[in-house]
Amino acid sequence: MNIKRLIARIDIKGKDIVKGVNLEGLRVLGNPEKFSLKYYTDGIDEIYIQDVVASMYGRNNLHNVIKKISQNIFVPITIGGGIRSLHDIKEILRAGADKVAINTAAIKNPQFINEAVKEFGSSTIVISIEALKASNGDYYIYHDNGREETDINLISWVKKVQDLGSGEIFLTSIENEGTGKGYNLDLLEKIKKIIKIPFVYHGGINSKENILNLLKNFNFIDGVSMSSILHYSNLQDKNIANYENIEGNEEFLKKKFLLKKFEKISIIDLKKFLKKNNIEVRL
């Protein structure tokens, strides 16, 4: 039985949750511990936490955040951002993470994937991929939270990271991320025949129907990662959202101009909806 996973993605800058569009224009939304606990109690299957500036500044700053979150949350937690060495992985796992996501370091040294798999096991090593379509119609990979482009073709990179033993691929469509325009059909069509390992899609999810169609049309997808749709569904909850003392953000949050692009959902209602439509999920 192919049970599909629903994954909350939480991007962190400093001590705050941030959210952008196309991985840009980051705005502070609130406290990652409060959002994480909300998603856990509502029934999320996994949580993916990304330090969105770690690689740019050559640091990993999530140890304290992981320790606090993992004390009260008992679903798998994946951590990404600034992981450059086996020592970094060891420290992240020791802090409470179950898996690590690697992007920049893998691009700069692909053999690091194989080294990490040998040391910690393939199920621990997730390869994060940020992809954007070029003018020639092909997709190429980016890193540093979409800030740095490469000349590496997405198809060749997916094949390579699988051959090097990675246990999972977490793919973000930069074009769709944060926009609420739905998943990237073209991107998924291009890669569906080459995926051989667990695969998570992220970018553009806007409704229960959108998730249902995604999972029905692309059975190779093991997990759906959601960010904006979950965060914006909880902005009205003053126990977790942060309207106060955030310069430039209060009016943005109160106007909720992006909310119209996203259906307000709860995780348990989403799971019941998927189950009713013959998608296997954990209730």
Sorted by where each begins, the domain ranges of the chain are: 5-276
- 165 falls in which pLDDT band (50, 70, 90)? very high
Mean local confidence (pLDDT), 76-94: 93
Residue indicated by tokens 């949350």:
73
Q: Which of 45, 51, 130, 263 is catalytic?
A: 130
Q: Residue 198: its pLDDT value, please?
A: 98
Mean local confidence (pLDDT), 173-177: 94
Give the residue, 258 or 117, on which the prediction is more confident: 117
Question: What average pLDDT does the structure give for the chain?
Answer: 88
In the chain, % of residues over pLDDT 70? 87
Instruction: Please say if 11 is a catalytic residue.
Output: yes
Instruction: Please say if 186 is a catalytic residue.
Output: no
Strand-pair category, 46-51 with 77-80: parallel
Single pTM value for the model: 0.92
Taking each helix axis from N to C end, the angle separating 32-42 and 267-276, rounded to the nearest 10 degrees, works out to 40
- Give just the sign of the alpha carbon dihedral 131, 183, 48, 24: positive
* 19-33, 102-116, 224-238 — most confident range: 102-116
Q: Which of 11, 46, 168, 222 is catalytic?
A: 11
Q: Residue 57: its pLDDT value, please?
A: 47
- 256 falls in which pLDDT band (50, 70, 90)? low
Q: What's 5-276's CATH class?
A: alpha beta
